Amino acid sequence: MHLAAFPGPGEADLVDALRRTARLTLSRVGEVDGAVVGHVALSPVTVAGATGGLGLAPVAVLPEHQGRGLGGALVVDALGAARAQGAAFVVLLGDPGWYARFGFRPASTWGLHDAWGGGDAFQAVQLQPGALDGARGVVAYDPAFDDLG
């Protein structure tokens, strides 16, 4: 499914690597008529001054099902499940216009940055009030993200 949703194998390889190392904290799928057509994954991240963080990546929807709200539904479901599991915050690299509706804001609001120079596309949302109040610096993802090209 990831191979069809993205231009290369990077995201599929990333999900496989996170599964192999048991670092896939949360995984949700979207189905249409019993067939899996979407997927969202969350894995642990770390940053100085905060605990309980997750990185949301990837969000994938098969091309023929894009534009129908499935990706958004997956993000809402994943954030709700992360909150229920006690996660404090979630970060991601993505379109600020699209993710703002889920409460994401530029991570720089809290003094957070990513290793890829994402600027305002690197975003965060607090799932627990004050979760990022003392956080500062570069958010570290699982080493499997280093191979994402």
143 lies in some domain = no
144 found inside a domain: no
Query: Over the stretch 37-94, which tens digit does the pLDDT of each residue have?
Result: 999 999 999 999 999 999 999 999 999 999 999 999 999 999 999 999 999 999 999 9
Query: Could you list the residue range(s) of the whole structural domain that residue 32 is in?
Result: 2-138
Report whether pLDDT(111) > 90. Answer: yes
Domain count, the chain: 1
The answer to whether residue 95 scores a pLDDT higher than 70 is: yes
Q: Is the pTM of this model over 0.85?
A: yes
Distance CA 124, CA 19 (A): 23
45/92 Cα distance (integer angstroms) = 10
Look at residue 139 and tell me whether its pLDDT is greater than 60.
yes
145 domain-assigned: no
Residue 27 lies in a domain: yes
Is 146 among the domain residues? no
Here the tokens at position 45 are 């991240």
Looking up residue 132, the CATH number of its domain turns out to be 3.40.630.30
In a domain, 132, yes or no: yes
64, two tokens: 């023929």
